[in-house]
Structure 1
Amino acid sequence: MIKNILRSTCYVLLALGVVHANPSIEIPTAGATLVAGSPFTVMVLDSAYSQPIIEGSLTIGLTPCTEASCPAPDSQILHVLYAGGFNPQRPATPVSYDPGSFAFENFTLSVPANAAAGTYTLGVFHTYWGESASLYYSPASDTDSVTVSVVSA
């Protein structure tokens, strides 16, 4: 009975957005400068999910900002840099850029050589199946983004 009460409490907190945390971009940090045509690393920290999940996919992309705003990765991506699986792991030994208690995955990507110089949204769009209170799995998604500058090579 206590297990069911705790599970119900987690689902209520999840519905309120209290327990759930989006995957986040740890590297590069907001304001970083990327060079068109050059490789860079994106470190995506995993979320602390309050319910069992089945991973779906992860998309990482760059989209130029307008004078008014920078688009969110769940609305549009101009340059898709990665689309595939997400398999975050906890490091076996401490690392110099300690990501805390979260698992993470690094992706080595390249800024498209034809990317115009300017301000961009570097965004991740993560899909998964989350267990609901009825014990069925339902589709869900998370996003995160940082604003970066792209300069010509």
Structure 2
Amino acid sequence: MKNILRSISYSMALGALVSTRVALGNPVIWIPTEGTTLTAGSEVTVMVQDSSYATPIQETSLSIGLSPCTETSCPTPDTSVLYLLYTGAFNPQRPSSPVNYDPGSYAFQNFTVTVPAEAESGSYTLGVLHSYWGESAVPVYFPSTDVATVTVNIVSA
């Protein structure tokens, strides 16, 4: 009987995790927008909007990276990053007053990063990898990641 109850409990936890994962969205990169041209060696603000989560989460980290696109595809930060621009804490906040660029009702955080001076001209994926622990319907935490990307163009200084 104990094993049956343990199996049922495990199945419920797994089902809760699956349903939670389906309900979750990804963070959004609001700035820069898709197709923005950036200059190698310059600073750029990356505005990352947090996702809406169906269950409580515990923030772990956020990474921002750049990778050149090939003729057929652009890599995502969950597979590889050529230039790691930021890695550290993610503490998104809702603005206390209206902002010029309204990210909606979700919390966001701005990061100032530098486009590497050695980056060659071309199309790049600017990607965000968000890591966190998500709570399921039962009080168990599971590791998870979200990804957001925009394609930007980099030109030499």
Q: How far did 1:87 drift?
A: 0.2
Kindly tell me the number of residue pairs found equivalent between the two proteins: 143
Letter of the 1:83 counterpart? T
Among 70, 73, 78, the alignment partner of 1:69 is 73
**Alpha carbons 1:10, 1:50 under 8 Å: kept:** no
Letter of the 1:117 counterpart? S
Aligned position for 2:20: 14
Whether 2:114 is the aligned partner of 1:110: answer yes
**Residue correspondence of structure 1 range 25-40 to structure 2 within 5 A:** 25-40=29-44
Aligned position for 2:3: none
Letter of the 2:69 counterpart? C
Runs (4+) of structure 1 exceeding 3 A deviation are 9-13
In structure 1, distance between residues paired with 2:98 and 2:19: 32
Aligned position for 1:80: 84
**Alpha carbons 2:67, 2:125 under 8 Å: kept:** yes
In structure 2, distance between residues paired with 1:11 and 1:135: 11
In structure 1, distance between residues paired with 2:51 and 2:61: 14
- Measured on the aligned residues, the alpha-carbon RMSD in Å equals 1.4
User: Secondary structure at the residue paired with 1:59?
Assistant: strand
Q: How far did 1:10 drift?
A: 7.7
**Larger helix percent:** 2
Deviations 1:31-70 (A, max 9, x none): 0000000001000001111101000100000000001100
TM-score, length of structure 2 as denominator length: 0.87
Letter of the 2:34 counterpart? A
In structure 2, distance between residues paired with 1:98 and 1:30: 17
Among 140, 144, 151, the alignment partner of 2:148 is 144
Aligned position for 2:7: none
Aligned position for 2:99: 95
TM-score, length of structure 1 as denominator length: 0.89
Whether 2:98 is the aligned partner of 1:60: answer no
**Alpha carbons 2:127, 2:149 under 8 Å: kept:** yes
User: Secondary structure at the residue paired with 2:54?
Assistant: coil
